[in-house]
Structure 1
Amino acid sequence: MEYFQVERKAGNKAAISVLTRLYKTILKYKFLYALMVPGIIWYIIYRYLPMFGLLIAFKEYNFALGIWNSPWVGMKYFNYLFSSSEFYTVLRNTVLINIYNLIYGFPAPIILALLLNELKNMLFKRSIQTVIYFPHFLSWVVFGGIIIQFLSPNEGFVNQIIKYFGGEPIFFLTQSQYFRSILVGTNILKEAGWGTIIYLAALASVEQEQYEAATVDGANRWQKLIHITLPGISNVIIIMLILKVGYLLDVGFEQIFIMYNPAVYDVSDVLSTYIYRVGIQDLRFSLTTALGLFQAVIGFLLIYGVNKIAKKYSDVSMW
């Protein structure tokens, strides 16, 4: 009995010691912790409190009854989703578009950053950076409108060139075989320049002595790129890839909503547009909440799995 009392006292002393050290640390860095408070409050209000709404996925939600009083239906809406052919069409479109973005869009900012890093004329380099950053600051309403005008069958710049060379106008945005390529291409055009910022910062941290030593050894620019530059930024590339894979079921709603139309629903309707159309317009909140929960769970599993693989085969991981 005395042994347990001694152990309890030792445990209490250890807990008090930890709390004392924590209090002193907070007191010492009180202004830094104060800066964290707005961010913590924002996350609580907009990220954690809305999780309460996930209950809707398991209920027959009714506005008049509210979340608590709406009747439980268990897995009804999940069963409906997994037995619906429309759900699998939307899921396939989402995954395919994101895979295309991953294959073609993920390397684009890396390649741009490597090209910019090779420029020695700083005025020219800054000018190019300004030009390629600019599309990021345009909303998809504006940028999408510009793309629609460019691809217009009557007055669009692209079709004017086609007609100039004797071809027939192409209705790009109403033909399924073109639409996904247009989505991926315009996304790269808008965001690739902005994505170079992270990689340019990573390139700045590569030690210049390595390049000088490689020059002495007779290495050319291509060899320096392969053996020094890419390994130097590989950690950043892996982290960005893990984050990118986590969004495999999340395609930008604004881009597709602005550019798609019923003629290309079979290749362009994705989870986010389906949630908007069914959840907001048709007021089927329980169904779309179930779909959103499914999307979040799969996203987490993807991040966890890719992070596990990265941790196993490299020294880089998210945790």
Structure 2
Amino acid sequence: MTVSNVVNGNLGRVSPATAATVERIVQERGYVPSGPAQSLATRRTRLVGLLLPARDGGISLLGSPHDVSVAGALEAGLRERDHHLMLRAVQDAREVQDSVQRWNLDGVVVMGFTDDELRALDLPEDVPTVVIDASADGRAGAVRTDDVGGGRLAGDHLRALGHRRVVFCGPTDSRSPVVAGRLAGLRDVLGADPVTVVARTSYEDGLAAGERIAREHPSATAVFATADLLAAGIQAGLIRAGRRVPQDVSVLGFDDADLARYVSPSLSTIRQDTAGKGRAAAELLLRLIHGDNPRDRVVRLGVELVVRESTGPASVD
């Protein structure tokens, strides 16, 4: 039973020294446990579902650099503990129940939904659950970035550069707590409501938004976008419309995705630890699956300002 407990992850029943000895012998002999046998012995499948919003047109579920980074780190964290990740797009509570029951999932991670959408999904109470970038009830765990703090960092940076006419650009019509938090933080620093321009989180929408900002808000000296992918498009749209970045308009993103370093001019941004978000979600979910019942089920990750070429002093009229 000692070997079985170690192989099946029941480390609470085995001393650390014994567990280390068993794991060393297992590695030396190249032993690979049978998945079906483990499922029968533990009544667990070691399958975790990552549930994402179904997108129109059947396009990729991981539609942004943020989602790709979080999902990759989540998968790696689960794989290190011999668990496996399954991606599934869902639209309603019926599809959630179908995913959990059909695949007999040990746990669920939910990403990309607003608080209202999460409530409508009616997540099963008997399945360990972690939500990313949304509010959780007392039963589920939650991992999120300090979005309000990120908005304040953005406001502090732009104000220090002399910017007062700032445009906030993102999916402000989505009721997303992420977007709302970043806008609230920016508003706290600026002391007034910035002009808001609605745009989906895509390069193409950013391109159109940049041209629209140049046309409809010619006095704006800075734009704060809710994601680097969007900010890169906005920057290109402004340049296409004849505005210089940052001499005429500064552009500030959020995430610190790889593309922020590759576009020209390179993007100033608010860095969030997307890989850390995925790892934290994996760790928290595994604790819930194994009955650790952590007292603090909310993980909040910090942010930092990264200054590159796309922000500069406000232009003087």
**Shared fold (TM-score, shorter chain, > 0.5):** no
Q: Give the structure with the higher percent strand.
A: 2
Q: TM-score, normalised by structure 2?
A: 0.26
Larger radius of gyration: 1
Q: TM-score, normalised by structure 1?
A: 0.26
- Higher RCO (Cα < 8 Å, 6 or more apart): 1
